Structure 1
Amino acid sequence: MKFKRQSVEDIHINLTPLIDCLLFILVILLLTTTFTQQSRINLSLPDAQGVPPKQYDQKIEVMVDSSGHYAVNGQALSSKETADLSTAIKQAANDRRDLMFVIAADAQATHQDVIRVMDAAGQLGFVNINISTKVPSRGY
């Protein structure tokens, strides 16, 4: 008796669906990725032209000089620490967070020093924060 042998088919792996899936993932990755590019542009900031300043009965004015020293309502602080700045602002505010908060920074003050004042004011709960500017003189 002669039995019929079963024929064994070759196993084929179809890579086309795998390649399609990988290309689809690659396209999605490229579309959703943001590429940050550091700008190297020199900025010349404009002078403020607009609204004349309003007079407020009470306000907190923090001054930042060119070397990074702070003064709160005319009282100079002994250090540049954020904790000392926050304490001085708290004392000047007397638990009132609705006062006008004005930052008067020297043109040569670093951005970090100004941001430190804004951060301290934000952490204390001030929402009405303004930065004072000078009105340029007109050359008539």
Structure 2
Amino acid sequence: MNFRKGRPEEPEINLIPFIDILLVVLIFLMASTTYSKFTELQVTLPTADAEKLRDRPREIVVLVSADGRYVVNRKPVEGRSVELLAAELNAVSEGAKDPVVIVSADATAAHQSVVNVMDAARRAGLARLTFATQTSGGG
């Protein structure tokens, strides 16, 4: 006969099912919760007025061809130098109130040609410059 005192077995706590249940509850809460958007400020947005459309700044469109030629407002520039382009931009922007220069360059135009337009606009004192793009018609 064995009268030794037996050791009581320690209970084993398995956390894996507990974690699984918590993840399911968390996913359920995330999927079923609706988020409310509260605004702290009441903002009254401006309305468009057709009369104010006349006050928009004058646009100067500069086209840059693939071979580096320039066209300013549908008038070809005689040379390809920055000085000639700046002179043309100066002439076109004469009397305009804060004009916007829109650079519309060919996709294969040299990077230097576009940089020349930016430099010419700076020399002509035209600070507002933007680039025209077209949407890709993928199909």
Partner residue, 1:133: 133
Task: Report the Cα offset of residue 120 of structure 1.
Answer: 1.0
Distance (whole Å) between structure 2 residues aligned to residue 90 and residue 57 of structure 1: 16
* RMSD (Å) for aligned C-alpha atoms: 1.8
Structure 1 partner of 2:9: none
The aligned amino acid for 2:126 is F
How far apart, in 1, do the equivalents of 2:72 and 2:97 lie?
15
Q: Say how many residue pairs are matched.
A: 85
Which residue number corresponds to residue 84 of structure 2? 84
Check if 1:121 corresponds to 2:121: yes
User: Separation in 1 of the partners of 2:84 and 2:138?
Assistant: 40
Q: Contact 1:70 / 1:80 at 8 angstroms: preserved in 2? A: yes
1:91 corresponds to which letter in structure 2?
A
Aligned to 1:98: 98
Alignment of 1:102-113 (within 5 A): 102-113=102-113
TM-score (norm 2): 0.56
The question of whether the paired residues in 2 share the 8 Å contact of 1:97 and 1:127 is answered with no
- The residue aligned with 1:22 is none
Tell me the secondary structure at the aligned position of residue 136 of structure 1. Answer: coil
> Share of identical aligned residues, percent?
28
Aligned to 2:64: 64
Deviations 1:13-69 (A, max 9, x none): xxxxxxxxxxxxxxxxxxxxxxxxxxxxxxxxxxxxxxxxxx856310111000000
Change (3 A) 1:126 1:57: closer
> Which ranges of 4 or more aligned residues in structure 1 deviate by more than 3 Å?
none
SS state at 2:130 partner: strand
Give the aligned residue type for 2:117.
V
Q: What TM-score do you get using the length of structure 1 for normalisation?
A: 0.56
What is the CA distance between 1:95 and its match in structure 2?
A: 4.2
Q: CA deviation at 1:138?
A: 4.4
Structure 1 stretches lacking a partner, 5+ long: 1-54
Looking at structure 2, the residues matched to 62 and 84 of structure 1 have their Cα atoms a distance apart, in angstroms, of 13
